[in-house]
Amino acid sequence: MGGGSGTPPPEVARGMLRGIMRIRMIEERVKDLYAEQEMRCPTHFSIGQEGVAVGVCAHLRRDEQITSAHRSHAHYLAKGGDLKAMLAELYGKATGCAAGKGGSMHLTDVAAGFLGAVPIVGSTISIGVGAALASVLQGSPVLSVIFFGDGATETGVFHESLNFAAVHKLPVVMVCENNLYSVLSPLSWRHPEGREIVQLAQGHGVWNRQGDGNDADDVYALAGEAIDHARSGRGPAFLELETYRWLEHCGPQDDRHLGYRPPGEYEAWLARDPLALYTERLRERGLVSVADLETMAREIAVEIDDAVTYAKSSPFPTRDQLSAHLYAS
């Protein structure tokens, strides 16, 4: 896994490790702060799933747009979305990335190439395809990368969008993070036995690969192929990357007491922590030292401290903002 020509060069690999660590640390901080009940919006944590976002986004230019869904923090951060604006958004502040009107489920940072995220499963798949269509109609194709979960592959809009992207050979990469559950419902209740998600893409005649979402090098290698394919005008590409959500579907709690995870499953995935795996990998390659890791963590902690202070001290929107932004003028 992760070897061969798809291995990220040292600088990229170090950046990816930093990216995974940063998302993990931000999410852990949000998790702690969430208990204060000042972030009053449904929040879906990305902890355990950071490898996919970082491995894919490592390839992307700033102007290339991505879309995501309800669990979007990792994608937003990996794409370079502004951390201060994200935390302020979670606090409902005027300085938030959506001026407080969106919350965790509606992040956006178009300048950073994060077109938007919404919690209606499947909805941003077609919107991401439309972004790619616009670029083609404008005569300068720009890659559009669409992140979604296994549940989204059950929607009609997924199939409709995949079909249309294939018909017009649009520069689209669809990244399915298969974390085995749609809320609490396991794949076996929702998908026929023996049918892999990638086969759906195959059925639409779309280039596809399946890989290990917790191995950032594997993600990087597959994403590189997929992105090359889509950027070169050969049509859309589809990746199914298996990963695992550690926390409850929505919120900061451990949910193992609910009993929907088979015995041993959680522990097996915990042993395949994308952060620990990648730290170990780069240590083996001699790309980071213990001191480097400490420096990274310290720098990230300072950045988070600053962002939290900014978000907490930012003003709430004023009452006149209630009726602002109904229509664009």
Partner 1 sequence: MSTRQLKFVQALAEALDLCMAKDPRVFVLGLGAPDAAAVFGSTKGLAGKYGPRRVLDMPVAENGMTGVAIGAALRGMRPVMTHIRLEFAMLAIDPIVNQAAKWHYMFGGQASVPLVIRMVVGRGWGQGPQHSQSLQAWFAHVPGLKVVMPATPYDAKGLLISAIEDDNPVVFIEHRWLYNIFGPVPEGIYRVPLGRPNVLRRGRHVTVAATSYMTLEATRAADELAREGLELEIVDIHTLNPFDETPVLESVRKTGRLIVADTGWRSVGFAAEVVTRVVEQCLGDLKEPPVRITLPDLPTPTTRALSNYYYPLVRDIAAAARRLAGRPPKPEPEIKPEAFLDVPDAAFDGPF
Chain contacts with partner 1 (rule: CB under 8 A): 65, 96-102, 106, 108, 110, 115-116, 118, 120, 123-135, 137-138, 144, 156-157, 159-161, 163-164, 167, 324-329
Q: What is the smallest separation between the CB atom of 137 and partner 1, expressed in angstroms?
A: 6
Residue 4's identity, in one-letter code, is G
Specify the residue, 182 or 210, whose C-beta has the smaller distance to partner 1.
Answer: 182
SS3 177: strand
Q: Closer CB to partner 1, residue 75 or residue 261?
A: 75
Contact assessment for residue 147 and residue 72, using Cβ atoms and an 8 Å cutoff: yes
Neighbours of 130 (CB within 10 A): 19
| CB-nearer residue toward partner 1: 35 or 324 | 324
Q: To the nearest whole angstrom, how small is the minimum distance from the Cβ of residue 159 to partner 1?
A: 8
Which CB sits closer to partner 1, 64 or 212? Answer: 64
Q: What is the DSSP string of 96-163?
A: STTTTSS-TTS--BGGGTEEEE-SSTTHHHHHHHHHHHHHHHTTS---EEEEEEGGGGGSHHHHHHHH
Q: How far is the CB of 258 from partner 1 (least distance, A)?
A: 29
Using CA atoms, how far residue 12 sits from 2, 8, 59, 220, in Å, is 14, 6, 9, 10
Minimum distance from residue 17 beta carbon to partner 1 (Å):
31
Residue-wise DSSP of 269-314: HHTT-HHHHHHHHHHHTT---HHHHHHHHHHHHHHHHHHHHHHHHS
* Least spacing, CB of residue 144 vs partner 1, in Å: 8
Question: Which residue's CB is nearer to partner 1, number 54 or number 133?
Answer: 133
Q: Closest distance between partner 1 and the C-beta of residue 241, in Å? A: 23
Q: How far apart are CA 251 and CA 149, in angstroms?
A: 17
Nearer to partner 1 among residue 257 and residue 319 (C-beta): 319
